[in-house]
Amino acid sequence: MPYADIVTALAILQFVWFGVQVSQARGKYGVHAPAVTGNEVFDRYFRVQQNTLELLIAFIPGLYLFGHYFNPLWGAGLGVVYLIGRQIYSMSYVKDPKSRGAGFGLSVLPTLILLLSGLIGAVMRLAGH
Protein backbone atom coordinates (compact mmCIF):
# COMPACT_ATOMS: atom_id res chain seq x y z
CA MET A 1 0.00 0.00 0.00
CA PRO A 2 2.34 2.78 -1.16
CA TYR A 3 -0.26 5.48 -0.42
CA ALA A 4 -0.60 4.49 3.23
CA ASP A 5 3.18 4.00 3.45
CA ILE A 6 3.88 7.54 2.20
CA VAL A 7 1.38 9.12 4.60
CA THR A 8 2.75 7.04 7.48
CA ALA A 9 6.31 8.16 6.76
CA LEU A 10 5.21 11.81 6.47
CA ALA A 11 3.23 11.65 9.74
CA ILE A 12 6.26 10.20 11.54
CA LEU A 13 8.59 12.80 10.03
CA GLN A 14 6.19 15.52 11.22
CA PHE A 15 6.42 13.97 14.68
CA VAL A 16 10.23 13.91 14.44
CA TRP A 17 10.06 17.60 13.53
CA PHE A 18 7.97 18.32 16.66
CA GLY A 19 10.73 16.53 18.60
CA VAL A 20 13.40 18.76 17.04
CA GLN A 21 11.35 21.78 18.14
CA VAL A 22 11.22 20.42 21.71
CA SER A 23 14.99 20.01 21.59
CA GLN A 24 15.44 23.60 20.36
CA ALA A 25 13.05 24.87 23.05
CA ARG A 26 15.22 23.12 25.67
CA GLY A 27 18.13 25.35 24.71
CA LYS A 28 16.10 28.52 24.19
CA TYR A 29 14.19 28.34 27.49
CA GLY A 30 16.88 26.68 29.61
CA VAL A 31 15.07 23.42 30.40
CA HIS A 32 17.87 20.87 30.73
CA ALA A 33 17.43 17.09 30.57
CA PRO A 34 16.09 15.14 32.40
CA ALA A 35 13.65 17.98 33.30
CA VAL A 36 10.55 18.27 31.09
CA THR A 37 8.96 21.27 32.78
CA GLY A 38 10.06 24.64 34.10
CA ASN A 39 9.01 27.03 31.35
CA GLU A 40 5.48 27.58 30.05
CA VAL A 41 6.46 27.94 26.38
CA PHE A 42 8.69 24.86 26.54
CA ASP A 43 5.73 22.98 28.05
CA ARG A 44 3.64 23.82 24.98
CA TYR A 45 6.19 22.41 22.53
CA PHE A 46 6.54 19.33 24.71
CA ARG A 47 2.78 18.78 24.92
CA VAL A 48 2.43 19.11 21.13
CA GLN A 49 4.99 16.33 20.71
CA GLN A 50 3.50 14.10 23.41
CA ASN A 51 -0.08 14.53 22.19
CA THR A 52 1.03 13.70 18.66
CA LEU A 53 2.66 10.50 19.93
CA GLU A 54 -0.66 9.57 21.59
CA LEU A 55 -2.45 10.16 18.31
CA LEU A 56 0.07 8.36 16.06
CA ILE A 57 -0.52 5.03 17.84
CA ALA A 58 -4.16 5.32 16.70
CA PHE A 59 -3.58 6.98 13.33
CA ILE A 60 -1.07 4.54 11.81
CA PRO A 61 -3.03 1.31 12.48
CA GLY A 62 -6.25 3.13 11.46
CA LEU A 63 -4.68 4.12 8.14
CA TYR A 64 -3.75 0.53 7.28
CA LEU A 65 -7.03 -0.97 8.49
CA PHE A 66 -8.99 1.54 6.38
CA GLY A 67 -6.73 0.92 3.39
CA HIS A 68 -7.09 -2.84 3.74
CA TYR A 69 -10.87 -3.05 4.16
CA PHE A 70 -11.86 -0.02 2.09
CA ASN A 71 -9.66 2.14 -0.07
CA PRO A 72 -5.97 3.04 0.39
CA LEU A 73 -6.31 6.23 -1.67
CA TRP A 74 -9.26 7.55 0.34
CA GLY A 75 -7.40 6.57 3.48
CA ALA A 76 -4.41 8.60 2.33
CA GLY A 77 -6.78 11.54 1.68
CA LEU A 78 -7.97 11.40 5.29
CA GLY A 79 -4.30 11.13 6.23
CA VAL A 80 -3.53 14.41 4.45
CA VAL A 81 -6.31 16.06 6.49
CA TYR A 82 -4.64 14.65 9.61
CA LEU A 83 -1.24 16.07 8.56
CA ILE A 84 -2.68 19.54 7.97
CA GLY A 85 -4.70 19.36 11.20
CA ARG A 86 -1.61 18.46 13.23
CA GLN A 87 0.34 21.33 11.71
CA ILE A 88 -2.43 23.77 12.67
CA TYR A 89 -2.60 22.17 16.12
CA SER A 90 1.14 22.61 16.67
CA MET A 91 1.24 26.24 15.59
CA SER A 92 -1.89 27.30 17.48
CA TYR A 93 -0.94 25.40 20.67
CA VAL A 94 2.44 27.14 20.87
CA LYS A 95 0.82 30.54 20.29
CA ASP A 96 -2.02 29.99 22.78
CA PRO A 97 -3.03 26.59 24.28
CA LYS A 98 -6.67 27.72 24.41
CA SER A 99 -6.76 28.03 20.60
CA ARG A 100 -5.70 24.41 19.99
CA GLY A 101 -9.25 23.07 19.46
CA ALA A 102 -9.56 23.42 15.67
CA GLY A 103 -6.27 21.72 14.82
CA PHE A 104 -6.97 19.07 17.45
CA GLY A 105 -10.35 18.24 15.91
CA LEU A 106 -8.98 18.28 12.38
CA SER A 107 -6.44 15.59 13.27
CA VAL A 108 -8.48 13.53 15.76
CA LEU A 109 -11.56 13.32 13.53
CA PRO A 110 -9.88 11.67 10.50
CA THR A 111 -8.08 9.32 12.93
CA LEU A 112 -11.40 8.20 14.44
CA ILE A 113 -12.99 7.79 10.98
CA LEU A 114 -10.07 5.60 9.85
CA LEU A 115 -10.16 3.52 13.00
CA LEU A 116 -13.93 3.03 13.27
CA SER A 117 -14.24 2.28 9.55
CA GLY A 118 -11.42 -0.24 9.89
CA LEU A 119 -13.20 -1.90 12.81
CA ILE A 120 -16.47 -2.08 10.87
CA GLY A 121 -14.64 -3.44 7.82
CA ALA A 122 -12.96 -6.18 9.86
CA VAL A 123 -16.23 -7.20 11.54
CA MET A 124 -18.01 -7.32 8.17
CA ARG A 125 -15.21 -9.46 6.73
CA LEU A 126 -15.60 -11.93 9.59
CA ALA A 127 -19.36 -11.94 9.09
CA GLY A 128 -18.74 -13.00 5.49
CA HIS A 129 -19.72 -9.82 3.69
Q: Number of C-alpha atoms within 13 angstroms, CB side, residue 43? A: 6
Q: Using CB under 8 A, pick the residue from 17, 29, 43, 77 that binds a second copy.
A: 43
Give min distance, CB of 44 to a second copy, in A: 5
Q: Which residues contact 10 (CB under 8 A, 6 or more apart)?
A: 79, 83
Work out whether 57 is an interface residue with a second copy (CB under 8 A): yes
Kindly report the number of other CB atoms within 10 A of residue 7's CB atom: 24
Work out whether 100 is an interface residue with a second copy (CB under 8 A): yes
Q: Using CB under 8 A, pick the residue from 46, 78, 90, 107 that binds a second copy.
A: 46
Number of residues that bind a second copy (CB under 8 A): 47
